[in-house]
Amino acid sequence: MSALLTLENVGMQFAVRPDHESGQHTVFEGINLILNEGDRLGIVGRNGAGKSTLLRIMAKIYAPATGSVIWAPGVTVSLLSLGLGFKNELTGRDNAYLAGLLQGLTKNAAKQCLVSIEAFCELGDYFDEPVKTYSAGMRARLGFATALLNNASVLLVDEVLSVGDKEFREKAQLALEDQFSDRRSVVLVSHSEAHVAGICNGAICLDRGGITARGAPQEVLRSHSGQPSGASGLKINR
């Protein structure tokens, strides 16, 4: 088992109002994390703890303010978020086609994938309407279906499994599980304890500016919800 992604003492800050005492808001600091082949890591924490920000650092969208992020040679990363990267003026079909091209498919292969993407999304006539007319759930359906085209080494999933009706959420989870392999890894941010417990083989809790718990998903979820974890070997970062 080899490391695909390593975070060493990673911290992130954002500029705030000029009248703020320091001018900077620290989202988190001191994040140390190793993501190995086959890992399915859940990230839980309260709103505003920096979960989505951490995913964007892993995806090379944000550069950390402090520390370093090390990707193994040849590692590719794909971030699945609500409509991230969609062009609002284009239709769902055109965005799906463009996503295929951006992920390295030939024009012919990208066109052939549109049939399965359209069927998976269940958007009906909206598949040929501009994405700017979509609800958040519709954008998530399209984003999830297009993300399944790629063979990225690391798949980062940001809350997408929590939208849509129960039937679609179950279908999306099964489709995601079909992507699992011993050679790639998944990082899942979700407020759904059922998704984290059912999909992940490890978890961390991001809170109070850092990682407050890490270990088995059920143990981290109990820690996050304030329930006693018992003698479980749960590791807490101090």
Mind listing the pLDDT tens digit for each residue in 203-223? Answer: 999 999 999 999 999 999 998
Residue scoring higher pLDDT (176 or 31): 31
Query: The CATH number of the domain where 66 resides is what?
Result: 3.40.50.300
- Which of 105, 123, 150 corresponds to the end of one domain? 150
- Which of 150, 176, 203 corresponds to the end of one domain? 150
Q: Which residue is listed with tokens 């990082």?
A: 187
Q: For residues 147 and 144, what is the distance between their CA atoms, to the nearest angstrom? A: 5
For residue 143, give its domain range. 77-150
Give the number of domains in the chain: 2
Tell me phi and psi for residue 46, to 5 degrees: -70, 165
Question: Mean per-residue pLDDT for 125-135?
Answer: 96
pTM of the model: 0.78
Per-residue pLDDT, 102: 78
Three-class DSSP labels, 193-232: HHHHHHHCCEEEEEECCEEEEEECHHHHHHHHHCCCCCCC
Amino acid at 27: V
The mean pLDDT of the chain is: 86
SS3 49: coil
Q: For residues 54 and 189, what is the distance between their CA atoms, to the nearest angstrom? A: 10
Kindly state the greatest CA–CA separation across the chain.
56
Judgement on whether residues 64 and 177 belong to the same structural domain of the protein: yes
Cα pseudo-dihedral 5, 6, 11, 13, rounded to 10 = -20
Range with lowest mean pLDDT among 22-26, 115-119, 152-156: 22-26
Judgement on whether residues 227 and 139 belong to the same structural domain of the protein: no
Judgement on whether residues 24 and 103 belong to the same structural domain of the protein: no
Judgement on whether residues 69 and 83 belong to the same structural domain of the protein: no
Give every CB contact of residue 104 below 8 A, 6+ residues apart in sequence.
Answer: none
Judgement on whether residues 62 and 127 belong to the same structural domain of the protein: no
Judgement on whether residues 87 and 47 belong to the same structural domain of the protein: no
pLDDT per residue over 149-202, tens digit each?
777 889 888 877 766 677 877 887 888 788 778 888 999 998 889 889 989 999
Per-residue pLDDT, 53: 95
Local confidence band at 71 (pLDDT 50, 70, 90 cut-offs): very high
Judgement on whether residues 123 and 181 belong to the same structural domain of the protein: no
- Which of 150, 166, 197 corresponds to the end of one domain? 150
Question: Mean per-residue pLDDT for 55-75?
Answer: 95
